[in-house]
Amino acid sequence: MSIKKKDAEIQADKIVKRMIEKKENLSNLLTAIKAKDDSIRYPNAIALEILSEEYPEMIYPHWDFFAELLQSMNAYHKSIAISIISNLTTVDKQNKFEDIFEQFYKLLDDKSVIVSRKLAMYSGRIVKSKHSLRHKITTILLNINETQHNPSRKDLIKGDIIESFNEYFEDIKEKEKIIKFVRSQLGSSSPSTVKKAKKFLSKWEK
């Protein structure tokens, strides 16, 4: 059963409120995001994303649950895991992200462009939390052409990469490489990526 985004967001807000008031068990949300019924899965997934961003300490003890989802055959499950794990890096004092780094970033080359775009999109957030991985993540993103995605999909992903670069450009040493990468997207087959490239260059290019 499908559900409209607006309705899912309304339900998600109610779920979050119940969680904060301790009237909802977190295990119920974890079970719900694996449901086949979209009207159940979608609101709970949104609620978990909100909680992982605003109350990461509440979700962090369940890190392993989301790490396991990264290995799922289901693109939706992997996408949920990417966004929530990215949010949880803000409180990852046990450096659990470093332990799954290789597995996580292999998903930039996932067969689902939805998964790869989500990873590219959230990479800026990860870098803001994990400064020691800044160079490593930047290098992976700059090498997007080495993935097996077809050219049109790569062009879409590059737009998400540009948005991530925008989040931490001030703090990165590889400014010239990034500017060169962004400039090369001005001829992209994706109008949205061209727009993101122009916006980035107008902000950062001297």
71-96 tens-digit pLDDT: 999 999 999 999 999 999 999 999 99
State the Cα–Cα distance between residues 118 and 82, nearest whole angstrom.
7
pLDDT, tens digit, 9 for 90 and up, residues 176-203: 999 999 999 999 999 999 999 999 999 9
What residues in the chain have per-residue pLDDT under 50? none
State the Cα–Cα distance between residues 175 and 23, nearest whole angstrom.
48
Split into its structural domains, the chain has a count of 1
Range of the domain at 101: 55-204
Please report, for the domain that includes residue 187, its CATH number.
Answer: 1.25.10.10
Which DSSP string corresponds to 80-123?
HHHHHHHHHGGG-TT-HHHHHHHHHHGGGG-S-HHHHHHHHHHH
Residue 5 lies in a domain: no
Chain-centre distance for alpha carbon 96: 17
Residue 135 lies in a domain: yes
Residue 36 lies in a domain: no
For the record, the structure tokens of 7 come out as 């309705």
Residue 165 lies in a domain: yes
State the first-to-last Cα distance of the chain, in angstroms, to the nearest integer.
51
Residue 162 lies in a domain: yes
Which of left, alpha, beta for 7 (phi over 0: left; psi -120 to 50: alpha)?
alpha
pLDDT value, residue 206 = 75
Residue 173 lies in a domain: yes
pLDDT value, residue 71 = 95
Residue 45 lies in a domain: no
Residue 8 lies in a domain: no
pLDDT value, residue 2 = 79
- Cβ–Cβ < 8 Å for 168, 130: no
